[in-house]
Structure 1
Amino acid sequence: MTESYIPDACARAVATALLDTGCVAARTDEPFRLPSGWASPVYIDCRRLISFPQVRRDFIAKGLQLLRDRKVVPGVASVAGGEASGIALAAWMAEALDLPLQYVRKKQAGQSRIVGVLKPGDKVLLVDDMMAAGQSKVGFCKALTAAGAKVEDLFVIFNYGAFPPHPALEALNVRVHALATWHDVLAVARERGDLNPRALEELAEFLEDPARWSRDHGGIGAMGAER
């Protein structure tokens, strides 16, 4: 599947920009250990995007177009960013939509994890920079729901597109919208030679069976995905 996969124009442009801005890192010796317990040969750091104004404007425009195409925007009353990496992205998206902004703390501080004014019953779009399995997104969604918000959609720049969603995130029925995945990055990197041949081979092997790759490299796998 990874050999024949062809990204659409939007995903190709996003993957290209992520590579060009140095957001993509690959290892062939020691895997990356993600907070969720998964092991991966690649890592994405979308936090770098705050330093590239043209790229971040383009990503926000592409994200809004994706959300409009999927009929997400109508009814959205505010935009909430996940601490910390999602705050800037949420602010730019809220500004473009002329909507109120909140952000969700990772941990309780005072009486609420929500910073900003949130009206009970409002439909809130949750925004973060990336998602692997979605464990942290579960906490953000639950905090917003506890404050009275309706959370139906999550927007991220990048979704690993490899690991099964956290069971609790699936149970919340939150739809995930992303501009690109590792499949897109692999396709572009193959064409342009952004990664060395060994790294490309390792990424392709990982995407063929992420659970097995993770398990074989000391992370959780299919048997440990409940973590």
Structure 2
Amino acid sequence: MWTRPRGGREQPALSRDQIVAEALRLLDSEGIDALSMRKLGNRLGAGATSLYRHVANKDELIELAVDEIYGEIEVPDTADPARWREDAARCAHSLRATMLRHPWIASVLGQMGLSYLGPNYMRISEAMLSVFTTAGFPPEEADQAMATVIAYVTGMATSEAAWLTVLARSGQNEEEWIERLYPAAEQAAQAYPHLREGLAGQRGKNPRTAREEGFQYGLDRVLDGLATRVN
């Protein structure tokens, strides 16, 4: 689909970019389960048949939407070998923030067959490969280093996105939810001293701050490990 000519003579006012933009608005506001070609067509003032002139099916539309989201991720313009950790960390934080802005993406990443061929994903990959290659990673390991960072971020952000989605459906904010749950969690942990101590240490802490600190800790350890491979 990335190289297919963009068609639509019968609907000159409707473009693939418009379709993807409206799909993103629908996904962000109502979630992945709300997306259908018929509903999207109604929002665009066009029949579902008109959409199929631009995208082959719903799965292809989701891949296009995912790549559009990848376009929000910040990557360094040039790679400085002395700043490879900072550059890699900035990309990682930007990827996490992007996924949390579009939490529905967590439910589809494992299904995106050819999303890695999308122009935005390829731009990100090229920039991150440049970071690791310029830093002195063995050429055959630069791709693995990039994949390791992306896998860590994706795993953490997927869990966060799922949690935030449940939270949004509950109508409560994070502090309210955790405070309401705490007595039950404390009771469940009574027989487990390490868990009990951990819960006590988290009581009253801003949950968003705790999530960010946890993400940073793991990212630092991933980069520590990768640093041992720099030539």
* Length-normalised TM-score, structure 2: 0.27
| Structure with the bigger percentage of strand | 1
Which of 1 and 2 has higher RCO (CA within 8 Å, sep 6+)? 1
The structure that is helix-richer by fraction is: 2
Task: Please report the TM-score for the alignment, with normalisation by the length of structure 1.
Answer: 0.27
